[in-house]
Amino acid sequence: MSPATSPNSGTRARTGGLPGFWQRISEGRQLDELWSQFTADARASYGFYMRESGAAEEEMVNQRGRPRFGHIVKTLFWSLVMKLTPARRVLLIIACALLLVSSVQFKFGKNAELDLNFTIFSVLVLLLLLALELADKVTMKRDLEIAREIQSWLIPSNPPVVPDADIAFATRPQNSVAGDYYDAFFPTTDAAGGGKLLLVIADVAGKSVPAALLMATLQASLRTIAGEGTSLHDLVVRLNRYASAYSLDGRRFTTAVIGEYDPATHKLSYVNAGHNPPIIRRLGGTTETLDIGGLPLGIDNTATYETGEITLQRGDALILYTDGVVEAFNERGEEFGNPRWLEAIRALPDWSAAESLNFLMRRVDEFVLATRQSDDITCLVFRCK
């Protein structure tokens, strides 16, 4: 086939040169989208470095209430420097010094001169530092992707089939791996055999890998104990004892809601272990919260727990969620908050669980827009049909 008729020749022509280079760099994103992403990244990075430096907000303003830019720049610089290894810190200081010196002129006698320009050397050192940091990031990202894949095996990808009910769930990790956990399963048998459905949502204190590891141990313990056919109360007590043994004196506690739903009677028994209270939206629009229970898991191995019970009717929606939903914030730092979340639930149409979940998550998305969040966001919707 001649070049004029090759099916790929037109594509190469359209994507070659400067347009092709820009397409490759930007991945087809528009300028406003790129700017929104940059501002979100910059804001998140600023917050990260300022928190890590331990600087108080009042230190960043002068007596007139105006920003002290010199103090801010100094704090950010040292916070960034101290994140590097000692060898890379030295390289960064050398690069900054060379950049400030810029050039040095030497004179030998009356006619001989030697100009040394250090700008190119400082740029090369900075590029070297960037390459080293990117290599570390890529390696860590690859490891985190493997951890994320393993974690995805621990949570259900599809909800179980429940008579006269449907379930939908979604999670958005703040990082590659999350400390949030949700589940919905029949521990001993399915609904056709008269089994009860276990609904779970939990949030391990902390973020990223440490929280994800504790989430994995919680999932394994829960599945093992539930498979023994133990009662809901005993299940929670045993989980709390296990969590207390590995909570680092209560510093790695877990909030959770564990519910047991009987498809035959539509009764839901539950224990709320210090978690955000799930909300039931009745068909008429009224709401109820499920707050009976006790302390978060892992704080006190002798803690006692109460069991609540409620009956679900046709058209009722049960919404379980983690604190990342109500604590989601926009670019101005405003939280989505419980009032907005409750308003969204009250406005929930009589839809399926999946449609209801999309409706609720869309409300959160419209509020936060492109702002990068600092916590995992997880939600589970259970609908009686």
The pLDDT-based confidence of 347 (bands split at 50, 70, 90) is very high
Phi, psi of 258 (to 5 degrees): -120, 120
| 3 state SS of 56 | coil
Nearest to 241 by CA among 283, 309, 299: 299
Which of 198-212, 226-240, 284-298, 336-350 has the least mean pLDDT?
198-212
Nearest to 144 by CA among 133, 154, 155, 152: 152
The pLDDT-based confidence of 268 (bands split at 50, 70, 90) is very high
376's tokens: 């995992």
Residue 218 has pLDDT above 60, yes or no: yes
The pLDDT-based confidence of 3 (bands split at 50, 70, 90) is very low
Residue 192 has pLDDT above 70, yes or no: no
* Whole-model pTM over 0.75: no
Stronger pLDDT, 139 or 68, i.e. the higher one: 139
CA–CA gap between residue 11 and residue 362 (Å, rounded)? 37
198's tokens: 């276990």
**Residue 240: which H helix or E strand, with range?**
helix 232-245
Nearest to 355 by CA among 96, 172, 167, 210: 167
The pLDDT-based confidence of 105 (bands split at 50, 70, 90) is low
CA–CA gap between residue 167 and residue 158 (Å, rounded)? 9
CA–CA gap between residue 322 and residue 169 (Å, rounded)? 12
Stronger pLDDT, 341 or 78, i.e. the higher one: 341
What local confidence, expressed as pLDDT, does residue 336 receive?
96
Stronger pLDDT, 7 or 363, i.e. the higher one: 363
Compute the mean pLDDT over every residue in the chain, rounded to the nearest whole number. Answer: 84
| 3 state SS of 1 | coil
Q: Which domains does the chain have, with CATH numbers?
A: 19-149 (no CATH), 156-384 (3.60.40.10)
CA–CA gap between residue 321 and residue 279 (Å, rounded)? 9
What local confidence, expressed as pLDDT, does residue 51 receive?
72
Stronger pLDDT, 111 or 345, i.e. the higher one: 345
The pLDDT-based confidence of 344 (bands split at 50, 70, 90) is very high
Which of 27-31, 49-53, 56-60, 199-203 has the least mean pLDDT?
56-60
> What's the rounded mean pLDDT across residues 33-61?
72
Determine the distance from the C-alpha atom of residue 323 to the mean position of all C-alpha atoms in its chain, rounded to a whole number: 11
The pLDDT-based confidence of 384 (bands split at 50, 70, 90) is very high
- Chain segment 135-175, per-residue pLDDT in tens: 888 887 777 677 777 777 778 889 999 989 999 999 888 77
What local confidence, expressed as pLDDT, does residue 185 receive?
94
The pLDDT-based confidence of 8 (bands split at 50, 70, 90) is very low
> What's the rounded mean pLDDT across residues 279-297?
94
